[in-house]
Amino acid sequence: MTQHLAAPAAPASGIDTDWWRGAVIYQVYPRSFADGNGDGMGDLDGIRARLPYLRDLGVDAVWLSPFYSSPQADAGYDVADYRAIDPMFGSLLDADALLRDAHDLGLRIIVDLVPNHSSDRHDWFRRALREGPGSPLRERYHFRAGKGENGELPPNDWESVFGGPAWTRVEDGEWYLHLFAPEQPDFNWDHPAVHDEFRSILRFWLDMGVDGFRVDVAHGLVKADGLPDIGVHDQLKLLGNDVMPFFDQDGVHEIYRSWRKVLTEYAGEKILVAEAWTPTVERAAAYVRPDEMHQAFNFQYLGTHWDAAELREVIDVSLAAMRPVGAPATWVLSNHDVTRHATRFANPAGLGTQLRTAGDRALGLRRARAATLLMLALPGSAYVYQGEELGLPDVTDLPDEVRQDPSFHRASGQDGFRDGCRVPIPWTTDGSSYGFGAGGSWLPQPAGWGELSVQAQTGDPDSTLELYRSALAVRRTQPGLGAGDSLEWLEAPDGVLAFRREGFVCTANTTGSAVTIPAPGRVLLASAGVEAADGKVELPADTTVWWAV
């Protein structure tokens, strides 16, 4: 039986100037969280109605994926108007009500900001197309003449992350750059108007009352001078630790220093969080120097296999990289762009890479629960993706005709199967959409989804939901958990991780067999049942235990 504590009380309200150093931040993907108006699409009213659930879960803040006005070519990451709510999600009045309710419940709200590119329906881009070559508006994007005798070839050899060329030709013969879908033209951050516009956008939402921004593609804003070709040889090199000419350029840091100054104009410790895919953790640390961002996602940790040696190495590297810049390490296991970890870990080999099959469901869930307790015990801040607290797997058998991930429809792009982690989450055991809303769901939910619902798991001491509630309650009350930048590794058998923090020990068995170790103290929480006797404890396979010492 899972050992657990009662669900936590609501987080304390009030200003905590270092709240983000140990925060647990819950990602809401608005399309798939809760539908308030019954149209089959999640919205702000649906989120607002479920805020008490998040308060009772025990998280500190909520990160909202994009809800801006958008044609939805890439699920809202193609923004047409950064100061408007898309009608599918509600209105600015709905956003204001959500912010007020969240703050009343002691929850902070972080919103997504998409500064690398806009929608091709953005007013700037539409005017640039209308006005033609030489238009001042074209200077705010990357328009170029093509190569070849008649300009029929792209300006360089860059490839889109979603597959295919990173350039699209318009009717007048010029080409524009898009590192993602053609509907997402990249801004030219060498232009001062782009800088001015985004500082204004920051102030708009800070005036609304948001508590911070998760910055999409934070590593991509600045491109190498002259937009040089990569070349076949250099493209092969980029599989290593080299910096791409369109990603992780040093010029991005001046942008974030200017944004940090904007945030200091507001009370309440507003934060910036970088989605920065960098070749090393050390490169990611550059984004969180004291005058830049507050946090950066730890993608190296997210991609690590369920393996003690690999985990220990990335934990050590992460803490060591963040310590000199005074930033907290962050830890994350799932998000809207990757296969859920309950499915990633369902491979007997313990792979942490993307999988397109269900694998061994029971094995995946057992490892996911253990991985969660390990993550929440580490020093720093943690991110939880909606539905992982229910142990949701990826939905791996979606028909091709219902998929909406743009990379699925373009050859040789990123994985292309992100829809599997975006299926609307279940709230009740039955109903047309398992409580998501009265009008079905925009992606089909699998049969049996209700068995994993909030309703089904609430009060069940063995459920994954109650494990999360208990873990966040312990984390909130245990002084050795949360913020910090160090831990002490303890001696442990092969395949077992053991470390100490103040008054606390965590042991994680990543092997497929039970392992007996000396009991380091009193059990606080375990991802599976443990038996202790005569000063020893048998750790079941793929199990993490928290101890008070």
Residues noted as catalytic: 216, 265
b/e code 394-413 from CB counts within 10 Å (16+ = b): bbeebeeeebbbbbbebeeb
Q: Cβ contacts of residue 421 below 8 Å, gap of 6+? A: 334, 335, 336, 337, 338, 339, 340, 385, 394
Which residues have a Cβ under 8 Å from the Cβ of 65 and sit 6 or more positions away? 27, 28, 29, 30, 31, 75, 76, 112, 336
How many Cβ atoms sit within 10 Å of the Cβ of residue 353? 11
> Which residue in the block uniquely carries the two structure tokens 């797997």?
393
| Cα gap 335→108, rounded to integer Å | 19
CA 62 vs CA 107, 215, 286, 349, 376: distances in Å = 7, 14, 25, 34, 17
**For residue 225, how many other CB atoms are within 10 A of its CB?**
10
- As to burial, measured by CB atoms within 10 angstroms (0-12 exposed, 13-18 middle, 19+ buried), residue 159 is middle
Tell me if residue 26 falls in helix, strand or coil.
Answer: strand
How far is Cα 110 from Cα 69, in angstroms, rounded to an integer? Answer: 18
Q: Which two tokens stand for residue 548?
A: 């008070």
**DSSP 8-state assignment for residue 242:** P
CA 428, distance to chain mean position in Å, is: 25
Residue 521 one-letter amino acid: G
* Residue 499, helix vs strand vs coil: strand
The token pair that represents 2 in the structure block: 């899972």
Nearest to 259 by CA among 239, 287, 220, 230: 287
Q: What gap in Å lies between CA 164 and CA 94, rounded to an integer?
A: 39
Residue with tokens 């910096």: 243
User: What stretches of 77-164 show up as alpha helix (H) in DSSP?
Assistant: 92-104, 123-131
